[in-house]
């Protein structure tokens, strides 16, 4: 058994102690084999209550929020502990998430761990106070100072697709800013979060109650975080539908809410682009981690005159990316996380068929995989941009190709979506590229393969893709309040 996951299963982290779940345990499943690989602590409502109480006490009763250097020290300890146990964490990630092992050297593990350095450094270098100088009102001269302070207790609710990246993208800046946290990870991937608990206890000086990790198969426990008045802020990553519920629930106490939600991003290919490069890059990315990424460009908008060539190029790429064993270093497309998610993807493929769409390649389960939640990388053509398959987030290895009639039409199609999370543009004329960049309403855009993911770069979306930004200084400041102090000059 992996040393970060004891033979009896994982534990909760509450108030500085590893404790069993009040509701026993629940199974965690390997999505590549459909086999139970172990158990995780199953928290009860009382456990969540205790975690919130611990986080509240740690924020209100310790110097954590005011000792910037100590917080940076603790975050570096966590980073170093995760690096020292990277092989154990890698094993957990591949088995529990179904993540291709090659991705653990990037966004599935090593990248997010390194990103903790940015959060730690920012805790020390950030300008916590800004002097506004003096001003006179009604004969009174005052000196004004702006202070930035931690929000308080943060409830973090995270999904299963990139658990380390999303857990740490919330924990890093929230802790660096001086907050305390209750983390509620997705039931599908509890081990990735629970492993942090062991590392925090054994290898860091993080005080009791500052981080609490509550695993459970009960989604309602996350709702308790959004409702509890002791929680000052909710940071949530997940579906837009669930995000609406989180926002509505948090409204009762008017707590701050950060939402990173769904996407149906468009890759815009202009008529002066290299079709093979643009289409090949886009098709490849859709198959990565079985398409389970909110920011993937799953709509491919190509010039009508180049439509057939684009379809052929996409089909060539996708047909060469077989869904396979995530432990194989050559695998790009692993399994979907669960039978439920596989059913969802297959349902959209059937919708495409029913609406007259053509399945150019893929469209089924791989013949050589008797077990595991696999779906072949799939290319769909012949559907309008208004089809549910082109409008709704599928979260699987499915690419839809749609023709456009020039730059303005491509911008219109890209924006004809309730989402605005990500996107890309491909071309050679800088002025035309800039018009597309300026015209597409989305939070991130890659130009000719440029990668926007970095620790210092803010990530988030327009429209129904969410509220606020994660990562970068902008993401750090989501976890801060602004206080103005005026004194006699």
Catalytic residues: 260
Q: Which of 256, 226, 260, 259 is CA-nearest to residue 480?
A: 256
Q: Which of 298, 306, 396, 276 is CA-nearest to residue 346?
A: 396
Contact between 359 and 350 under an 8 Å Cβ cutoff? The reply is no
Contact between 109 and 166 under an 8 Å Cβ cutoff? The reply is no
d(CA 100, CA 93): 9
| CB environment 54-63: b (16+ within 10 A), e (fewer) | bbbbbbeeee
φ, ψ (nearest 5 deg) of residue 181 = -135, 140
The conformation of residue 290, written as its DSSP 8-state character, comes to G
Q: Which of 89, 63, 86, 87 is CA-nearest to residue 205?
A: 63
d(CA 287, CA 333): 5
Contact between 182 and 212 under an 8 Å Cβ cutoff? The reply is yes
Contact between 227 and 377 under an 8 Å Cβ cutoff? The reply is no
d(CA 107, CA 101): 11
Q: Report the length, in residues, of the chain.
A: 489
Whole-Å CA distances, 456 to 475, 479, 480: 9, 16, 17
Name every residue whose Cβ is closer than 8 Å to that of residue 39 and which is 6 or more positions away in sequence. Answer: 8, 9, 10, 25, 26, 27, 28
| Strands (E) located in 54-128 | none
DSSP string, 37-67: EEEEE---HHHHHHHHHHHHHHHHHSSTTT-
């Amino acid at each position: 058994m992996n040393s970060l996951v004891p033979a009896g299963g994982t534990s909760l982290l509450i108030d500085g102690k590893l404790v069993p779940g009040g509701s026993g345990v629940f199974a965690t499943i390997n999505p590549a084999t459909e086999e139970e690989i172990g158990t995780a602590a199953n928290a009860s409502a009382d456990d969540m209550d205790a975690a919130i109480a611990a986080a509240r006490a740690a924020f209100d009763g310790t110097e954590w929020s005011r000792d910037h250097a100590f917080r940076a020290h603790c975050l570096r300890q966590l980073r170093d502990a995760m690096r020292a146990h990277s092989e154990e964490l890698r094993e957990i990630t591949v088995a529990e998430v179904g993540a291709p092992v090659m991705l653990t050297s990037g966004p599935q593990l090593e990248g997010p761990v390194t990103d903790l350095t940015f959060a730690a450094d920012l805790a020390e270098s950030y300008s916590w106070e800004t002097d506004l100088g003096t001003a006179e009102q009604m004969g009174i001269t005052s000196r004004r100072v702006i202070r930035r302070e931690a929000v308080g207790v943060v409830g973090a609710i995270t999904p299963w697709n990139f658990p380390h990246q999303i857990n740490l993208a919330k924990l890093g800046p929230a802790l660096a800013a001086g907050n305390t946290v209750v983390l509620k990870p997705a039931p599908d991937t509890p081990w990735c979060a629970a492993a942090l608990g062991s590392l925090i206890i054994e290898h860091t000086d993080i005080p009791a109650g500052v981080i609490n990790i509550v695993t459970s198969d009960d989604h309602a426990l996350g709702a308790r975080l959004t409702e509890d008045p002791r929680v000052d802020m909710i940071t949530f990553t997940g579906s837009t539908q669930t995000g609406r519920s989180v926002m509505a629930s948090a409204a009762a106490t008017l707590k701050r809410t950060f939402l990173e939600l769904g996407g149906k991003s468009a890759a815009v290919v202009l008529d002066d682009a290299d079709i093979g490069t643009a289409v090949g890059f886009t098709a490849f990315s859709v198959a990565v981690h079985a398409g389970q990424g909110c920011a993937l460009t799953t709509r491919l908008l190509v010039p009508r005159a180049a439509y057939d060539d684009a379809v052929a190029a996409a089909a060539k790429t996708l047909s060469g990316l077989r869904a396979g064993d995530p432990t194989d270093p050559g695998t790009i497309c692993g399994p979907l996380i669960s039978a439920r998610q596989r059913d969802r993807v297959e349902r959209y493929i059937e919708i495409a068929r029913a609406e007259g769409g053509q399945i150019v390649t893929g469209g089924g389960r791989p013949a050589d995989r008797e077990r595991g939640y696999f779906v072949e990388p799939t290319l769909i053509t012949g559907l309008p941009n208004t089809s549910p398959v082109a409008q709704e987030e599928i979260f699987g290895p499915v690419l839809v190709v749609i023709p456009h009639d020039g730059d303005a039409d491509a911008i219109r199609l890209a924006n004809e979506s309730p989402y605005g999370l990500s996107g890309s543009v491909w071309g050679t004329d800088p002025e035309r590229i800039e018009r597309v960049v300026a015209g597409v309403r989305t939070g991130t855009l890659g130009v000719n393969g440029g990668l926007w993911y970095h620790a210092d770069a803010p990530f988030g979306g327009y429209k129904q893709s969410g509220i606020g930004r994660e990562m970068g200084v902008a993401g750090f400041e989501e976890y801060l309040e602004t206080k103005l102090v005026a004194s006699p000059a």
